[in-house]
């Protein structure tokens, strides 16, 4: 029982430690309040559950909100939709532009953390898209090479059959 109390105590103490996000420019120490993180999770869940017509309206509303008042919160709301929204509204290059122009001086810790996370998501997806393109190119090269080898094999088979057909009449004349 005493060991269990120590484990609970240690878990409680470690849960109170600041969160550190790994970013391509180095670690970004961030202290988040649970309600801030919950806000962004709720925001994302609301977006992915919207039907297509409401999704388009939501995008227009967020673009208008951002244009009229480019606060960190309106920027993150738009960037979140453009980065991880359904395919019909996703525009990661525009989201990356928003995130690169994002003013972290006015942003809360949760907005900074979300910006770092969205940048990382976009970078990883761009990398994976690049890798898929590379693999598709290799696959096409391999298919082309296979066709060339199959054609060579067929030509060699034809040559061998021609040689065998020439030898058959010649072999019957000698005996």
**What's the structural domain count of the chain?**
1
Q: Under 8 Å CB-to-CB from 30, ≥6 apart: which residues?
A: 18, 19, 20, 21, 109, 110, 112, 113, 116
Of 134, 126, 129, 113, which Cα lies nearest the Cα of 40?
113
Q: Left if phi > 0, otherwise alpha if psi is -120 to 50, otherwise beta: which for 26?
A: left
Residue 1: pLDDT band with limits 50, 70, 90: low
Q: Under 8 Å CB-to-CB from 109, ≥6 apart: which residues?
A: 30, 31, 32, 33, 36
Q: Which residues pair with 19 in a beta bridge?
A: 30
pLDDT digits (tens, 9 = 90+) for 115-164: 888 899 899 999 999 999 999 999 999 999 999 999 999 999 999 999 88
Could you give the CA distance from residue 108 to residue 12 in angstroms, rounded to a whole number? 25
| Residue 138 within a domain | yes
| Residue 131 within a domain | yes
Range of the domain at 45: 20-170
Q: Under 8 Å CB-to-CB from 31, ≥6 apart: which residues?
A: 18, 19, 109
| Residue 14 within a domain | no
| Residue 78 within a domain | yes
| Residue 60 within a domain | yes
**Bigger pLDDT: 112 or 6?**
112
Question: Tell me, what's the pLDDT at 131?
Answer: 95
27 neighbors 20 (Cβ within 8 angstroms): yes
| Residue 133 within a domain | yes
Could you give the CA distance from residue 154 to residue 107 in angstroms, rounded to a whole number? 68
| Residue 1 within a domain | no
Length of the chain: 175
**Does residue 28 carry a pLDDT above 60?**
no
Pairing of strands 19-23, 26-30: antiparallel
| Residue 175 within a domain | no
């Amino acid at each position: 029982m005493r060991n269990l109390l120590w484990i609970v105590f240690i878990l409680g103490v470690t849960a109170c430690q600041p969160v550190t996000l790994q970013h391509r420019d180095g670690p970004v120490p961030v202290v988040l309040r649970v309600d801030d993180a919950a806000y962004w999770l709720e925001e994302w869940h609301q977006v992915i559950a919207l039907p297509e017509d409401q999704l388009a309206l939501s995008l227009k509303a967020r673009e208008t909100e951002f244009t009229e008042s480019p606060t960190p919160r309106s920027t993150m709301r738009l960037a979140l939709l453009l980065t991880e929204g359904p395919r019909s509204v996703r525009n990661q290059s525009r989201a990356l532009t928003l995130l690169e122009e994002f003013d972290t001086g006015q942003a809360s810790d949760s907005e900074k953390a979300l910006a770092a996370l969205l940048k990382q998501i976009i970078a990883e997806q761009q990398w994976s898209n690049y890798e898929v393109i590379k693999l598709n190119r290799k696959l096409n090269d391999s298919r082309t090479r296979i066709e060339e080898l199959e054609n060579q094999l067929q030509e060699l088979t034809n040559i061998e059959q021609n040689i065998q057909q020439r030898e058959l009449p010649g072999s019957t004349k000698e005996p």
